[in-house]
Amino acid sequence: MASLYSCFVVGSLAVLLQFLFVSASTKSINAICQSRGIKKKLRMLDRHWAALSLSVSYAGKSASFAANAANQNPNMKKQFAACKDAYATIIASIKSAAAELKESPDTANYDVMVCRDSTTIVKNLIKKNLDKDSKMLIKMTLMMERLLTIAVGATVAVGG
């Protein structure tokens, strides 16, 4: 998506330049879109969006796991349901960060960083439980924190 948008912007600029400077050619437009700087920026944005997408995907799997655990453990239904809700908050925040990444990397960074509050909620809800599902959700939450660290790094890299 970013590469199409960037190429569109660059292409539009090149077309405008063609009207202004009749000597501009298709080769010039292609050269602009293929320039190293543009390609590097597009690859960088793609990688950072990939990091955010991976985080959303993993949070979705964790939310599903928590929802299933809530159904299978009636004694801990409220705790696991709250964990599922915390993961839903993580998903919403990371999706928001992905949407803001190009225009407002600082806001995107904030959106990812507040996800740590949700992982803390999950850990506090189930940290003392010794059942299999709680242990697995703790492991998933620790992995989510690692992915969030990568996502924060992505927003910082884009923001400069």
Residue extents of the structural domains in the chain? 1-34, 47-159
What are residue 22's phi and psi, to 5 degrees?
A: -55, -25
Q: Which of 29-33, 34-38, 92-96 has the lowest mean pLDDT?
A: 29-33
Specify the residue for token string 């909620």.
121
- DSSP code of 130? -
Model pTM score: 0.72
Maximum mean pLDDT: which of 49-53, 117-121, 129-133? 117-121
> What value does the mean pLDDT take over residues 83-109?
93
* Displacement of CA 113 from its chain's centroid (Å): 11
Give the burial string for 78-101 (b: 16+ CB within 10 Å, else e): ebbbbbbbbbbbbbebbbbbbebb
Asked whether residue 132 carries a pLDDT value surpassing 90, the answer given is: yes
Query: What is the mean predicted confidence (pLDDT) over 89-105?
Result: 91
Using 50, 70 and 90 to split pLDDT, how confident is the model at 65?
A: very high
Higher pLDDT, 71 or 20: 71
Average pLDDT over residues 115-126: 95
Residue-level pLDDT at 51: 83
Instruction: Report the share of the chain in percent with pLDDT over 90.
Output: 49
- Report pLDDT for 53: 86
Q: How many CB atoms lie within 10 A of CB 42?
A: 18
* Locus of tokens 């569109």: 8
pLDDT of residue 160: 55
Alpha-carbon span 135 to 123, nearest angstrom = 10
Residues in the chain: 160
Higher pLDDT, 31 or 26: 31
Token digits of residue 61: 């799997």
Over pLDDT 70: what percentage of the chain?
70
- Please tell me the predicted confidence (pLDDT) of residue 37: 54
